[in-house]
A and B are shown apart, each in its own frame.
Chain A
Amino acid sequence: MAERFLMKGNEALAEAAIRAGCKHFFGYPITPQTELAAYMSKKMPKIGGTYLQAESEIAAANMVLGAASCGIRAMTSSSSPGISLKTEAISYMAGSDLPCLIINVQRGGPGLGGIQPSQADYWQATKALGHGDFQVIALAPSSVQEMVDLVAKAFELADTYRMPAMILADGMLGQMMEPVEFDDNAEVKKTEKPWATAGHGGKREHNVINSLYMMPQDLENLVNERFARYEVIKQNHQMAEEYLTDDAEIVVVAYGASSRVSHSAVDMARAQGIKAGLIRPITLWPFPTDVLQKAAKTAKAFLTVEMSKGQMVDDVKLAIDCAVPVEFFGRTGGIIPTPDEVLAQIKALAQGGAD
């Protein structure tokens, strides 16, 4: 086993991306994500890659578009306000079927908001990371080790399905240090990219990367083809962790930082004899509907816990077709809920069920 050492989430994301074969990083500093870019600036030149601090977030995202067009693993990272600036290029990449990785270390919003941890970009990541009919793969790690593990996964999924992937982290995960280990023997799974505009040596027809289609029928056909691909992803790539859900009457649903708080709260509830469990979505898109539907068969109520005003709660209701009540608890603006606060909500739900 490789040695475990302490690493900040932001740095672990960067190291994992380099190990996953990312050769080009285009970024712009913003708290609480800056350590990621700083790490890249130190490491990329040493491995023959590119670290480029662009003149703006918009430029950085468009540079990713350029690099991805050449079939190269490229990425950018930012925090909430910076991600909003990148959405134009992300939409163009989705419309051009380009794989890439975008990392959002979320902070409070809207606007410049604050710099403390938040999960208020869930809607943006899962519903509309730019204009037009498209989705991006959205992965939500809840530990520094999982940040490492999901980076390679994100690149692989993006390459396989030719679409952007996002890791939706938050300031807490980005700033905290936890033990991590890297698999030094991990194989980088690469996909052939015959579509890339990387030179054809006069041996084939040139490739075109484009997102403009003037004929509505052409565009509809293409979007339909893309959505057929999305269905395959929904069928095959839902990921979630289930904790004590087998007999759970109260099922908490939380991802990322708030799932860690919820995990503690579920343990506290169990110690008080309340049958509580936790479902932690790891893929936010595709949303892990299967495990939620399974849990809905035995649960009396669901409670989503988020660091927002409740952006995932609708997806939970849709997943279980409102079979049981779905309540919400959250803090926003950069405040992390406490286990005691979540426990109080679980207890209230448990007592409500006994009436």
Chain B
Amino acid sequence: MSKNLNIVIAGFGGQGVLFTGKVIAYAGLIDGKEVSWLPSYGPEMRGGTANCSVCVSDVPIGSPLVVTPNAFVAMNLPSFDKFIDDVTPGGVVVVESSLVSKQTDRTDVKAFYVPATKLAEEHELQGLANIILLGKLFKETQFSSFEALEKAVAKCVPPSKQHLLEPNMRAVKLGYSL
């Protein structure tokens, strides 16, 4: 993969938006890519909308602020509405369709609708809807090697929560299988 990925992940605070971005950035780092991770910060982190920009690139990253993403994960409706028109033509869009009832009328992007919260409940992966979406994003963009993604998940799950490592990996694989 030589394509440079400029990713926006957006949703409510608490959905794991920033964590998802961190896993992607770490996977890129483990693969030896240039990476950056830039969160939105401030009052919107408390129950409002949160988003983060992640760049994975073969060359040094200029602006870490992604204005026109070529990959976009929308975890709620306000985020979907806010960023969908900014996605570059040919870009990948992964939508949490349990929470976003709309579909885009754009035909120049590759949109995938994943009912991640519903799937998480069905597979006893409560709280890991974001990681299911991550698995789907990985399938559609190959932002890193699978080995790097596994290592990145292991790195990002804190030592005190190692019991969550297995469900996280299961969530990645579930997303990948869709």
User: What is the interface of chain A, defined by CB distance below 8 A to chain B?
Assistant: 4-6, 31-32, 115-116, 171-172, 175-179, 260-261, 263-265, 267, 336, 338-340
On whether the beta carbons of A176 and B38 are closer than 8 Å, the reply is: yes
On whether the beta carbons of B63 and A261 are closer than 8 Å, the reply is: yes
Chain B 1-29 interface 0/1 with A at a Cβ cutoff of 8 Å (1 = within): 00000000000000000000010011001
CA distance A264 to B59 in the complex (A): 11
On whether the beta carbons of A179 and B29 are closer than 8 Å, the reply is: yes
Closest 9 CB pairs of A and B: A264-B62, A177-B37, A176-B38, A261-B63, A263-B62, A115-B42, A260-B62, A338-B67, A179-B29
Decide yes or no: A336 and B35 within 8 Å by CB, A32-B41, A179-B29 being known contacts: no
Residues of A within 8 A of B62 (CB): 260-261, 263-265, 267, 339
Decide yes or no: A176 and B41 within 8 Å by CB, A338-B63, A338-B67 being known contacts: no
Residues of B within 8 A of A339 (CB): 62-63
On whether the beta carbons of B35 and A178 are closer than 8 Å, the reply is: yes
On whether the beta carbons of A172 and B37 are closer than 8 Å, the reply is: no
Least distance between A348 CB and chain B CB atoms (Å): 20
On whether the beta carbons of A179 and B35 are closer than 8 Å, the reply is: yes
CA distance A340 to B62 in the complex (A): 12
A-B contact pairs, 19 of them (CB 8 A): A4-B29, A5-B29, A6-B22, A6-B37, A171-B41, A175-B38, A175-B41, A176-B37, A176-B39, A176-B64, A178-B35, A178-B36, A178-B61, A260-B61, A261-B63, A263-B62, A264-B63, A267-B62, A340-B67
Beyond the given A6-B37, A172-B64, A175-B38, could you list 14 further A-B residue pairs with CB under 8 A, ordered by the A residue number? Answer: A4-B29, A6-B22, A115-B41, A116-B42, A177-B22, A177-B38, A178-B36, A178-B37, A260-B63, A260-B64, A263-B62, A267-B62, A338-B65, A339-B62
On whether the beta carbons of A172 and B38 are closer than 8 Å, the reply is: yes
Decide yes or no: A172 and B65 within 8 Å by CB, A32-B41, A178-B36 being known contacts: yes
CA distance A261 to B60 in the complex (A): 12
Residues of A within 8 A of B61 (CB): 178, 260
Chain A: which residue is nearest B39 at the CB level?
Answer: A175
Chain B: which residue is nearest A177 at the CB level?
Answer: B37
Least distance between A112 CB and chain B CB atoms (Å): 13
CA distance A175 to B35 in the complex (A): 14
CA distance A5 to B34 in the complex (A): 12
Give the contacts of B50-97 with A (CB-CB under 8 A).
60-65, 67
Residues of A within 8 A of B34 (CB): 179
Least distance between A315 CB and chain B CB atoms (Å): 23
Residues of A within 8 A of B38 (CB): 172, 175-177
Residues of B within 8 A of A340 (CB): 67
Residues of B within 8 A of A263 (CB): 60, 62
**In-complex Cβ contact of A31 among B22, B42, B60 (8 A):** B42
Least distance between B104 CB and chain A CB atoms (Å): 23
CA distance A234 to B142 in the complex (A): 49
Residues of B within 8 A of A260 (CB): 61-64
Least distance between B50 CB and chain A CB atoms (Å): 12
Decide yes or no: A31 and B41 within 8 Å by CB, A4-B29, A177-B22, A267-B62 being known contacts: yes
CA distance A228 to B77 in the complex (A): 61
Interface centre among B26, B29, B60, B62 (most CB of A within 10 A): B62
Decide yes or no: A177 and B41 within 8 Å by CB, A6-B25, A261-B62, A261-B63 being known contacts: no
Least distance between A248 CB and chain B CB atoms (Å): 17
Chain B: which residue is nearest A171 at the CB level?
Answer: B41
Residues of A within 8 A of B41 (CB): 31-32, 115, 171, 175
On whether the beta carbons of B36 and A176 are closer than 8 Å, the reply is: yes
CA distance A107 to B37 in the complex (A): 19
On whether the beta carbons of A336 and B36 are closer than 8 Å, the reply is: no
Chain A: which residue is nearest B156 at the CB level?
Answer: A6
